[in-house]
Amino acid sequence: MEDLLNKEPVKRVLKVLRDFDESLKVETLISSARTAKDASESLNTEVGSIVKSLLLRRKTSFLLCLVAGDKRCSLNKIKKLLNEKDVSMANADQVKEITGFTIGGVSPVGHLNKIDIFIDHSLERFENVFAAAGHPNSIFKINFKNLCKITNGSVKDISE
């Protein structure tokens, strides 16, 4: 499993993490962290502390939403915040093209393209959160304040 750290998407995430804070590490899990439930079981932590990175398609751009693992992303709230009618989940090909990651391994950082980011306020409940690091078996731990800083994301009420 150690060779996951040599995979290009994981290397991209690791570089961003290290440039931000040398102490941040990518962990390789033996079992998959493809879903929030899987990740929470692997890490023995609350499902809510797992960050779901969801790419949404807008009329002319994309938006990455970071949502707690025990919440659902609210398209209605996002449409209101953006004042747009046409917002939907990106498909697997769009996720890969825009972020450079496959679904299940989408990281909040290290994207191929610049993406606006909304961070759900419900993640503030946790001192530390866990996010995918470019592969379904790779994660990193970060505190909420630093997640906001490293992603340059806007904290919003985007879950239900």
Percentage of the chain beyond pLDDT 90 is 84
For 57, the 3-state DSSP assignment is strand
Q: Would you place residue 142 in the very low, low, confident or very high pLDDT band (cuts 50, 70, 90)?
A: very high
What's the confidence (pLDDT) of residue 39? 86
The candidate with the shortest Cα–Cα distance to 49, out of 141, 152, 118, is 141
Per-residue confidence band for 34, with pLDDT thresholds at 50, 70 and 90: confident
The correct CATH number of 2-156 out of 3.40.50.880, 3.40.50.10300, 3.30.950.10, 3.90.960.10 is: 3.90.960.10
Instruction: Identify the pLDDT of residue 123.
Output: 98
Rounded CA separation 138/27 (Å): 6
Please check the confidence at residue 2 and state whether its pLDDT lies above 70: no
Between 34 and 42, whose confidence is greater?
42
- pLDDT tens-digit readout, 56-83: 999 999 999 999 999 999 999 999 999 9
Statement: residue 1 has pLDDT above 60: no
What tens digit of pLDDT does each residue of 107-124 get? Answer: 999 999 999 999 999 999
CA–CA separation, 73 and 117 (whole Å): 13
**What pLDDT is attached to residue 85?**
94
Provide the residue count of the chain: 160
pTM for this structure? 0.94
Element (H, E) at 65: strand 62-68
Residue where the block lists tokens 């001192």: 127
Name the residue ranges covered by the structural domains of the chain. 2-156
For the residues 114-141, what does the mean pLDDT come to?
96
Contact predicate 144/129, CB 8 Å: yes
Question: Distance between CA atoms of 83 and 19, rounded to whole angstroms?
Answer: 35
Alpha helices in 59-99 (DSSP H): 75-82, 92-99
What mean pLDDT do residues 150-154 have?
98
